Amino acid sequence: MSADKILPQPGLGTFRLQEDVVIESVSSALELGYRHIDTASFYQNEAAIGKALANSSVPRSELFITTKVWVEDLAGDGVQKSIAASLEKLGTDYVDLLLIHWPSPGDEVPMEHYIGELNKVREQGLTRHIGISNFTKAQVDQALACPGGEHIITNQIEVHPFLSNSALVEHCQNKGLTVTGYMPLAVGKVMDEPVLQEIADRHQATAAQVALAWVAQRGIIVIPSSTKKKHQQSNLEALELKLSDADMQAINALDRNDRIANPDFAPAWD
């Protein structure tokens, strides 16, 4: 099965959502039919998400849960400890996808080590699949060449109309990896973009729906974050929107390399 068939489209992003807010967000998303929930140890909301999952009637076998290992947990047996803590908080015996959240800053921890540890966790059945996040083209190639790296199925990266990330997206797809795009709405900036609004008006849609459709039509899994049920429903409906080649090209032209997630330890971007 190809990776793009493994990851459900869309997912629900949970970055910055805490306690009752994330419980309500996950609960309403599951009611609407979302099955892909994206979190991370760094988000500090896994326990709250675990409560939402426990209260849901959706069988565990139908869920796709992604979490991530933070940079401080890449050395030694940190990956093992990280997944153990995540599983306990989430209240599950396994996750469906475990990602390395960021490559080790300055290559302080050798990539061979933490990719190898990631694959050990997969072999132990604590995660069904493994992947990476925020890796550049060169780092993708390095990760895939590591022992165990052949099992990597995705690179989760920032993608939205103001950061198309085309070179990296195409590189990953050419390597057989599915791209998962986070912040697809550019933390709300897409709503104020006239080009998106004009296209939305023609399709009787919203600018947010047009942005999501543009990402999805590039073969990318989208994981928008939303706390309101009506917005979650709107995000689902966005995937039914079919943009023309002219629409896609007009949105491509909005790219201005406007990167939102850019911590001081980030790699040298492509």
Pair of tokens at residue 40: 């991370």
- Which residues 6+ apart lie within 8 Å of 127 measured at CB? 83, 94, 95, 96, 97, 98, 121
For residue 103, CA distances in Å to 65, 115, 162, 219, 267 come to 21, 10, 23, 24, 8
Pairing of strands 178-182, 221-222: parallel
Distance CA 199, CA 202 (A): 5
Distance CA 63, CA 37 (A): 8
Distance CA 259, CA 104 (A): 20
Pair of tokens at residue 150: 């052949």
Number of residues that make up the chain: 270
Active site residue 43: yes
**CA dihedral sign, ordered 55, 61, 66, 69:** positive
* 231 is an annotated ligand-binding site residue: no
Distance CA 172, CA 168 (A): 6
Residue of 13, 6, 5, 41 whose CA lies nearest to 159:
13
Pair of tokens at residue 192: 């104020």
Which helix H or strand E contains 208, and what residues bound it?
helix 207-216
Annotated binding site: 101
Annotated binding site for substrate: 101
Active-site residue list: 43
